Chain A
Amino acid sequence: MTVSAPPSDSPTEPDDPHIAARRRWMAVLARGSAAELADHWGRLGEGLSHDRLRAPESGLVMVRGRAGGSGSPFNLGEMTVTRCSVRLADGAGGPARVGHATVAGRDRRHAELAALFDALLQDPARHDAVERTVIAPLEAAQAAAAEARSCKAAATKVDFFTMVRGEDT
């Protein structure tokens, strides 16, 4: 029996900054709502046309856990997800960009908008504006919601105090 560090959950991720950046915005887009993304798309996506390489499709991902939290993996149960892939034409005649999304839930519009933003963010000419006006604000809002939730939990943290019973002093 040996004590070893649990196997890494991300053994194959290269330290590619482009992949790291894309993982970040995809995580933010997956946690945004379809309504939020639609608002932003109404402003930024005007005049852009796209093809669906893969129309929004709902399916399942089997969620895995680990025995003891860090031991061998097991299948916990499935979750609903929706995926979509699009090709976004560049309005200025540049190369088309392919965007992908897989998001929790069954909202097809959410998956398609997330894929569209993924494509848009890969366009160097548009990246910064989308990052500044969509991704950063969504990320900040998500972080604020998580912090508010954590503050509620923190209010229920127990402060133990010990009754001193005199005789030992």
Chain B
Amino acid sequence: MYVAVKGGEKAIASAHRYLAEERRGDPALPDLAVDQIAEQLGHAVSRVMAEGSLYDRALAALAVKQARGDLIEAIFLIRAYRTTLPRFGASRPVDTAAMAVDRRISATFKDLPGGQVLGPTFDYTHRLLDFALAAEGAEPPVADSAPDPLDPAMPRVLDLLNREGLIEPAATPDEDGPVGEGPVGEGPVGDLTRDPLAFPAGRDLRLQNLARGDEGFILALGYSTQRGYARNHAFVGEIRVGLVAVEFEPEELGFAISIGDILVTECETVNQFRGSKTVPAQFTRGYGLVFGHGERKAIAMALVDRALRCRELGETPQAPAQDEEFVLSHSDNIQATGFVEHIKLPHYVDFQSELELVRRLRRAASAHAEAAE
């Protein structure tokens, strides 16, 4: 029997008004401006853009405000918003070697062309609460400025290794995914926002999935690879954070134009070797790229990308991080939160049937016991 239940509209409307008042907080305090969030909560904005899979700082800041700082809720708002806009096409792949670098470090080479550039980092801070930030009206801090800008030539660290043949090239024929997807490097690019994910997934789909996947989930999986659940000991070859130009070819022009710059974080890991009787040992690669400034996510993404390349590199998958179906099916925090949280919504009828069943089983058991006496 299906029982339609009506009611609750008034309670829901009042709950949302209550939420709006709570969101605003104490009206004696100034309202939080969206551009304050965009400027001063940059990492929250970065995460919402990365996992919302939509680069727009102002929208991400608005979502953070509307969600009262619940970043997964904010990501949900962004994902919902993007479905309202038409897609004009795909960009040319961004050239991260030509990035205007804010930060660029390597954990593998101390002296490298272009140097180690720390940029605006939490690294080497003492993680002591700074009570000066709680005071109002402080003078805005001013960064140091060198007399000369960075050397525009910032070669990719892994390309330096590649020159000696010590590391696998960035594109290998077998990483492109299932055979028959076109020539190496330039085949059709899979898009999991258009086609449902199928397994085995090509590296393009894996990277797209990881780039928009939940930071906490990817972080935990990356950590598991370091603790031994998919051994491929990783070094951070390079992290770079900065602006890259986006080039897009509008249909009416017939040539690509630069439409603006986006902030991205890139991480390349250098991992343990692969070699055979015919091919001498070489380092292998993992790759992470995310919108905004998000190093934790980019490093974890590179670790998991490398772990997911296990079959291609002749390793036997045995750890969760190497299980493509497990990783890719559970990385999306909007899917996850939808399914996990939906069980709080009314399930009165489902539960009623379970209740009936338990009562019947108990009646049968007690009747059976009485008969046995």
A interface residues, Cβ below 8 angstroms from B? 1-4, 6-7, 9-10, 12-14, 19, 22-23, 26-27, 30-31, 57-81, 83, 85, 100, 102-106, 146-158, 160
Contacts and interface: CB of A to CB of B under 8 A. Distances in A.
Contacts of A62: 87, 89-91, 191
B250 A80 contact: no
B156 to A, nearest CB: 6
15 contacts: A3-B169, A4-B169, A57-B86, A58-B85, A63-B91, A66-B93, A69-B287, A72-B171, A73-B93, A75-B208, A80-B85, A100-B253, A148-B145, A154-B149, A158-B118
Contacts of B247: 9-10
Interface stretch (B29-37, B64-72, B97-105, B319-327): B97-105
A1 B174 CA distance: 9
Given A67-B207, A77-B211, A153 B257 contact: no
Contact of B145 (A9, A64, A152): A152
Contact of A154 (B50, B110, B117): B117
A31 B111 CA distance: 34
Contacts of A2: 169
A157 B94 CA distance: 25
Given A67-B171, A79-B262, A155-B143, A74 B203 contact: yes
Given A61-B259, A81-B260, 10 more contacts: A62-B90, A66-B93, A66-B171, A67-B171, A71-B287, A74-B190, A146-B100, A147-B149, A153-B103, A154-B150
A82 to B, nearest CB: 10
B82 A60 contact: yes
B137 interface: no
A149 B193 CA distance: 35
Contacts of A73: 93, 185-186, 189, 204
A148 to B, nearest CB: 7
Contacts of A160: 110-111, 116
A155 B145 contact: yes
Given A61-B259, A62-B87, A154 B148 contact: yes
B160 to A, nearest CB: 13
A65 B165 contact: no
A3 B282 CA distance: 13
Contacts of A23: 255-258
Contacts, number: 273
Nearest to B55: A79
Contact of B94 (A27, A60, A63, A85): A63
Contacts of A85: 252
Nearest to A2: B169
A80 B55 contact: yes
A23 B246 CA distance: 13
A4 to B, nearest CB: 7
Nearest to A160: B110
Interface string B278-309: 01000001010111000000000000000000
Nearest to B111: A160
A27 B258 contact: yes
B93 A103 contact: no
B89 A153 contact: no
A61 B291 CA distance: 14
A91 B184 CA distance: 52
Nearest to A158: B116
Nearest to B309: A67
B246 A71 contact: no
Interface string B173-212: 1011000000011110111110000000001110110011
A26 B260 contact: no
B144 interface: yes
A102 B256 CA distance: 11
Interface in B47-67: 49-50, 53-56, 58-59
A68 B338 CA distance: 32
